[in-house]
Each structure stands twice: as C-alpha cells, then as structure tokens.
Amino acid sequence: MVASLIEADLSCTSLAEANLWKANLRGADIRAANLRKADFGEADLRGAKLTIEQLSKVKTLFQTILDSELEKEVKQKYPHLLEMPGFPKEEVEE
C-alpha cells in the first residue's frame, strides 16, 4: 500500500527508519521531523517543507521526485542518496 500524505502536517514527528517508498508527500510539512534512515525511494516530495540537512540523514532518495533546487543541492552534497540502495560501490564487482 502506498501512503498518501499530501499536505500533511508531519512537523516535529519521528519518521526515523520509516518506509515511505512511493509515498506521496506533495506539500507536506516535514520541518523538524526526524528523518534518520527513512526510506523515501520513489516518493514524491515536490513542494514539501524540509531542509537539505534533514535529507542528509535519510536512507535513500532513489528515484524520488524533488523540487529542482533541492534536487540540485542533493546531487551536489549527497549524491549517494540518489543511487539504488543496497549495493555499496566497493562491493560491486565490475
């Protein structure tokens, strides 16, 4: 089941280790929420209120839809979050 949390007020909540794969969080207020190791793979975070610092603590943003400025920051500061989870580069044989 896919979570639909459009414009939800999740500020100051703990979403630590939450599985939010494919969740629709468009316009959600996630400011000050604990996102440590949360899985946002393929989630829609367009218009969500959150910071790059919060995103730095998530497990993955693989194929997540972000606002263009936030996506640019993630690509610059935390590009590993955009990679497919579960396959650290050093363990993959070429």
Can you give the pLDDT of all 94 residues of the chain as single tens digits? 688 999 999 999 999 999 999 999 999 999 999 999 999 999 999 999 999 999 999 999 999 999 999 999 999 999 999 999 776 555 444 4
Q: Helix, strand, coil proportions of the chain in percent (round to 5)?
A: 20, 15, 65
Domain boundaries of the chain, sorted by first residue: 1-81
pLDDT number for residue 87: 60
Does the domain spanning 1-81 belong to CATH 2.160.20.80?
Answer: yes
pLDDT number for residue 85: 79
pLDDT number for residue 88: 57
pTM above 0.75, yes or no: yes
